[in-house]
Amino acid sequence: MITTHRLKKYNRGWGYAPKRTQPLYWINRDSLTDKQVDKFCNLTLRWCEKTFGTKGTRGIPELEWVWKDAWYQKNNFLAFYDWEDNTMHLRIQGHRTWNNLCASIIHEYIHYLQGNPNRYEREMETMGYADHPYEIEAEGLARQYAVECCQWVTRTMRVK
């Protein structure tokens, strides 16, 4: 269910599943450097900008990430978008694969494009997280595009 007008053109239906031409890459603190995670996250954000566009003159959101954070874990967050600062916050621990990490970044980017924090809060109070139309929309688009995004990012990382 796509409710945001500008995102309706990206709805592919649930039958879409691109072929996996690469193995899943597991996220492991011991085998990745911060530089590699930075590059992956920045390329994913660039893919989102290229695929979905931007919203007005605000510019694309900043992306801040941490490996592990007690506040994130206590509140059961993997990622969230801060409307006021135009910043995506991401906890790497808890994402098992690059594909999951791509899905989280796409999900938060969709929230940036939805861009109506007052409506979001109002509906969150009445509907809750699971039935919230913005969350359903962001989750659906993240699932539909995560594999495609991950393939592009990993190919780009290998080339450069």
Residue 145 · residue 106 · CB < 8 Å: yes
More confident residue, 31 or 49: 49
Tell me the pLDDT band of 59, cut-offs 50, 70 and 90. Answer: confident
User: Is 14 within the bounds of a domain?
Assistant: no
Tens digit of pLDDT for each residue in 95-112?
888 899 999 999 999 999
Determine the structural domain holding residue 55 and report its residue range. 32-159
Reply yes or no on whether the pLDDT at 1 is more than 80: no
Is residue 7 in some structural domain? no
Asked if residue 124 belongs to a domain, the reply is yes
User: How far apart are the C-alpha atoms of 6 and 110, rounded to whole Å?
Assistant: 11
Which CATH number covers residue 129?
3.30.2010
Side-by-side strand order, sheet with 87-91 = 62-66, 87-91, 79-82
Taking Cα atoms as reference points, which of 157, 148, 154, 139 lies closest to residue 50?
148
Instruction: Tell me the pLDDT tens digit for each residue of 139-153.
Output: 999 999 999 999 999
Asked if residue 61 is part of any domain, the answer here is yes
SS3 of residue 144 by DSSP? helix
Instruction: Please state, rounded to an integer, the average pLDDT across all residues of the chain.
Output: 85
Pairing of strands 87-91, 62-66: parallel
Res 16 pLDDT > 70? no
Work out the pLDDT band at 41, boundaries 50, 70, 90: very high
Report the number of distinct structural domains present in the chain.
1
Note whether residue 147 is domain-resident. yes
